[in-house]
Structure 1
């Protein structure tokens, strides 16, 4: 999805979802590689935090059906009930 790949081209205005402000980029291509690097580092830190607390981190993409994200959650919950 767009939040991972930043597939936009040219001059692009990004607006926050909850009055978070906006950011205008003259050419998104100029920031794409740095954005992807920061995004992956953020995901890595989330995973590290989850492991440190013994949590399970599931990653679901918005371009996939919701069921694909819910099924692993359901399986983990039912497995925990059986223990």
Structure 2
């Protein structure tokens, strides 16, 4: 039987400058600031990559959309819905 190996990402201590009031409030609420910062950075990276992909592929997307507008969906006659 195959068992998947679970790997944890390596972590590195990092210094961040954060708003003092926000940090105090987060700690008072029991928020893990490191994990929250990591989640926020991960979301920012994801959004940046999405935006970059859209910019890099804008011409291809526009071309595909123009084709569908002019000719309809390819293989539309085979759709069963």
Using the size of structure 2 for normalisation, the TM-score is: 0.35
> Which one has more relative contact order, counting CA pairs under 8 Å at least 6 apart?
1
Using the size of structure 1 for normalisation, the TM-score is: 0.35
User: Larger Rg: 1 or 2?
Assistant: 2
Greater percentage in strand: 1
